[in-house]
Structure 1
Amino acid sequence: MRYILLCMLLFIGCNPSATKPKKRKKPPTSVSLKEHVTTLRKIVEKYETTGELVSVRQATLSAEVSGQIISRPIYVGDAVKKNQLLLSLEKELLAIEKKRLQQNIILEKARAYEAKSNLVRQQKLGIATTPQQLEKATTNYTIVQQNLAILQQNLRKVSVNISKTDIRAPFSGEISKVFVQENEFAQVSQPLVTITDRSTLKIVTGVPENVITKLSKKSEVQILIPSVERKYRSTVFCTYPVMNSNTKKIPVEIRIVNNNNFLYSGMFCRLYFRVGITKGIVVPFNFVKVAYDMYFVKVMQEQKFIEKRVAATLHKDGWLIMRGIKVGQKIQEY
C-alpha cells in the first residue's frame, strides 16, 4: 500500500500539467469609436479635366523651288538658332539661268538704246520722214522696252528662287521632324523639316458652359503631368469664342513657360481649374460608409447614433456632405 502511494506521488510530481495553474480568460474589452461634430468650412471649388501639351510656335518648312538636296546638316532633336541654315537645294541650274538672263539683258539694253536713237532721229526729221517710218520706229522701241522689262522681271524671279534654295530657321527652336534625306529630289510644296519652339507650351481643353461663366483670364489652373511627376501653376490665357459642336464645350487655352525645355509636345496632363470658393460640411474618410454607390453616416438622434443616408462626394480632406446632415450634429466613425 505504501509502495502504491509513493508511486502516485512521484507520477504527480513529474507531470507539469498537473501542477500548472490554468489561465483565466479576460473579459472582452469594448472598442471606443471616435465622434465628430460637423462644422462649416470654406471649400475651394475645382473643375478637373485633361489635355495635351502643344508648342505655341511650330512651323513645317516646305520646298518653294524644286531641286536636289545637296546638304542636310541637321537631325531630329538638334537645337537651332533663328536664320540658321537647315537644308540646301541644288542651285547650279538656277545660276546658269541667271547668267543667261543677265547676258540677254545687256543685249536687249543695247537694242533699246539703238531703237530709242532711231526714234529720236525720226522725230527730229519732222516732214523729212514718212508717218510709216515714224510709227515703225515707235513700235520697235516699245517692243524692245517690253522685252527688256520681261527679262528683268525673270531675272528677279530667278534671284528670289536662288535664295529659296537655302532653307533657314524662321525662329530659334528644336528640329522635331525631318522628312527628306540628302541627295533626294524635292518637289515644290514638299515638306522638308519641322521646327518647334518649346520655350512656351499650351494646352487647349474643353470646359462646359456652367464652368466657363466662373472663369476669367486670371483664373488659377493647377497642371499635373504624370509622366514626369511634376506640378505647375498657371492661369487661363484665353477662351475661344466658338463652342465645340461635338463635345458641347468651350475651348480654353492655358500656357506654361517651359524652363530648360524640360517638357515636350504630346505630354498628357491633368488640369484643375479653380472656379470659386464655397462653404460646406467635410467629414473624415472613416465617418462615411459606402455601399452600392450609396453613402451612410451615423448621426446622433435621441441620445443614440442612427445610420442615415446622405449625398456625398470625395474631397481632398475627406467626404464633402452635400445633403443629409446639418452643421453642429454629432456623428460617429465606422
Structure 2
Amino acid sequence: MRIRYIVYLVIALLIGYLVYNKLHGNAKDGQAQAGGGGGSAKGGKKKNGPVPVRLMIVKDTSVNNNIDLTGTIDANEKVNLISQTAGNITGIYFQEGSRVRKGQVLVKVYNQDLLASLKQNAYQVALAKENEYRSRVLLQKEAVSKQEYDTSLSSYNSLKAQGDVIRAQIAKTEITAPFSGVIGLRNVSPGTYLSAATPIATLVSTDPMKITFSVPERYKPLIKPGSKVSFNIASSRKSYSATVYAIDPAVDQNSRTITVRAKAPNPNNEITAGGFAKINLTLDQIPKTIMVPTECVLPDLKSSKVYIAHNGKAEPRSVKTDLRTDTRIEVTEGLNPGDSLIVSGIIQMRPDVPLKIVKVIQ
C-alpha cells in the first residue's frame, strides 16, 4: 500500500510540473513576441531613416584604352647553320654560346684539291690571255682571220669563267655567319665528315627581340606601326617595352584576330627567345571622359543606371557606358561634371530614399 501511495505521489508531481511549465512557457513566448514586435518597430524605423552613403564628385578625366594579351617571344633572326658542300672539317673557329660578327668564318671544310685546281686554272688563264693578245695584234695586221681570233678569245673567257666556278666552290667550304648574333651549341667536331644535311649549330640574333601576338579584329583600326607595347616575362619582374612594326593584313578565320609583331630592345640579353610574354597594349587615349567605379553602375532591362544625391535624396539616372577597366567603367551619357554620384550603399538605393552623407570623394 505504501509503495502504491508513493507511485501516485510521483505521478501527481510530474503532472503538476508539466502543467506549470506549460503555463509559464506560454507567458514567456508572449513576452518574446511582444519584444519582437517592438524590435520590428525599431527596425522599421531604422529602415525608413537616412541611409549612410559616400559620394564622389563627377569630373572629366583622361584614360588610356588598354587591353591585356599574351604573346610569344622570338629571336630577331635565327638560322640553323649547314654546309653547302661535303667534306671533312679542318677547323672550327667559334666558341659555343659566344657572340660572332657577320661574315666571320665559323667552320672550314677540306678544300686543298680545289685550291690546286684554282692554281692550275690560273696558269691556263695566263696562257690564254697571252694567246688572245697575240691573235688581236695579228688580226689588226690582218695576219689571222677573225674566226681564229674569236677562238682564242673564247678560250680565254671560258678559262676565266672556270676559275670563277672553282672560287665559288672554295667559298662554299667556309661556313660564315650570315648576321651578327650569339651562336649556340655545336653538333660537329674537327675531322667530322660534313654533309649538306648535317646541322652545325644555331645562330640567333637577340637584339632586338620580336614579340608576336594576336589582337581581336575590332581593334585593328586602332593599331598601327609605331604603337607602343609593354610586356612582362616570367624570368623577371621588370616591365619591358616594344614598338609595333608589322601587322598581318589578313584576319584569322578561326579566331577572328589579326597577328601583330613588335620589336623590343634587348641589349643585356634579359629576354629569352621562345618565352611567354604578358602584354599590355595601349590602343588610344581618351583625353576627356567620365570614369566611375564599376559597382556604381546597375544593369537595367534596356540600359544601365546610377544614383546621384539631389536635395538629400537618392535620384536614379539612366546612363550609357562604353570602355571598362578592372575597377572603373566609362559613362558616355547621363552624367555631368559636378554631379554627386553615390558610391556606397547601392543595394539600399531606391528613388527618393533619404541620405546621410558620410564622406565626399573629390
TM range (shorter): 0.5 to 0.7
Shift in Å at residue 78 of structure 1? Answer: 1.3
Kept in 1, the 8 Å contact 2:217–2:257? The answer is: yes
Please name the residue that 1:243 is paired with.
250
Please name the residue that 1:63 is paired with.
83
Distance verdict in 2 for CA 1:261–1:119, change over 3 Å: same
Q: Are 2:270 and 1:262 aligned?
A: yes
State the AA in 2 paired with 1:330: I
**Number of residue equivalences:** 284
Shift in Å at residue 57 of structure 1? Answer: 3.5
Per-residue deviation, residues 44-66 of structure 1 (Å, max 9, x unmatched): 32122111222323444442333
Kept in 2, the 8 Å contact 1:227–1:268? The answer is: no
Distance verdict in 2 for CA 1:296–1:103, change over 3 Å: same
CA RMSD, aligned part only?
4.5
Please name the residue that 1:146 is paired with.
154
Shift in Å at residue 175 of structure 1? Answer: 0.8
State the AA in 2 paired with 1:88: K
Kept in 2, the 8 Å contact 1:52–1:267? The answer is: yes
Shift in Å at residue 72 of structure 1? Answer: 2.0
Please name the residue that 1:9 is paired with.
none
Kept in 1, the 8 Å contact 2:97–2:183? The answer is: yes
Kept in 1, the 8 Å contact 2:65–2:323? The answer is: no
Please name the residue that 2:3 is paired with.
none
Kept in 1, the 8 Å contact 2:229–2:281? The answer is: yes
Aligned match of 1:282 in 256, 274, 292?
292
Shift in Å at residue 229 of structure 1? Answer: 2.2
Distance verdict in 2 for CA 1:141–1:260, change over 3 Å: same
State the AA in 2 paired with 1:315: T
Distance verdict in 2 for CA 1:297–1:107, change over 3 Å: same
Distance verdict in 2 for CA 1:189–1:146, change over 3 Å: farther
Aligned mates of 2:277, 2:221 — CA distance in 1: 23
Distance verdict in 2 for CA 1:236–1:105, change over 3 Å: closer
Aligned mates of 1:219, 1:244 — CA distance in 2: 19
Distance verdict in 2 for CA 1:319–1:98, change over 3 Å: same
State the AA in 1 paired with 2:54: H
Distance verdict in 2 for CA 1:104–1:220, change over 3 Å: closer
- Tell me the secondary structure at the aligned position of residue 163 of structure 2: helix
Shift in Å at residue 245 of structure 1? Answer: 3.3
Please name the residue that 2:18 is paired with.
none
Kept in 2, the 8 Å contact 1:41–1:282? The answer is: no
Shift in Å at residue 154 of structure 1? Answer: 0.9
Please name the residue that 1:36 is paired with.
54
Q: Are 2:350 and 1:332 aligned?
A: no
Shift in Å at residue 259 of structure 1? Answer: 2.6
State the AA in 1 paired with 2:342: K
Q: Are 2:115 and 1:95 aligned?
A: yes
State the AA in 1 paired with 2:329: L
Aligned mates of 2:115, 2:184 — CA distance in 1: 32
Shift in Å at residue 260 of structure 1? Answer: 1.4
State the AA in 1 paired with 2:250: M
Per-residue deviation, residues 170-217 of structure 1 (Å, max 9, x unmatched): 333211464544333334476544322212112132223422222344
Distance verdict in 2 for CA 1:268–1:41, change over 3 Å: farther
Kept in 1, the 8 Å contact 2:234–2:276? The answer is: yes
Please name the residue that 2:329 is paired with.
320
Kept in 2, the 8 Å contact 1:86–1:169? The answer is: yes
Kept in 2, the 8 Å contact 1:214–1:276? The answer is: no
Per-residue deviation, residues 113-163 of structure 1 (Å, max 9, x unmatched): 77x399669945xxxxxxxxx77xx65554343233222211122123323
**TM-score normalized by the length of structure 1:** 0.65
Aligned mates of 2:306, 2:96 — CA distance in 1: 59
Identify unmatched segments of 5+ residues in structure 1. 1-29, 125-133, 290-294
Please name the residue that 1:24 is paired with.
none
Aligned mates of 2:258, 2:219 — CA distance in 1: 10
Aligned match of 2:214 in 197, 206, 231?
206
Aligned mates of 1:53, 1:62 — CA distance in 2: 25
Please name the residue that 1:168 is paired with.
176
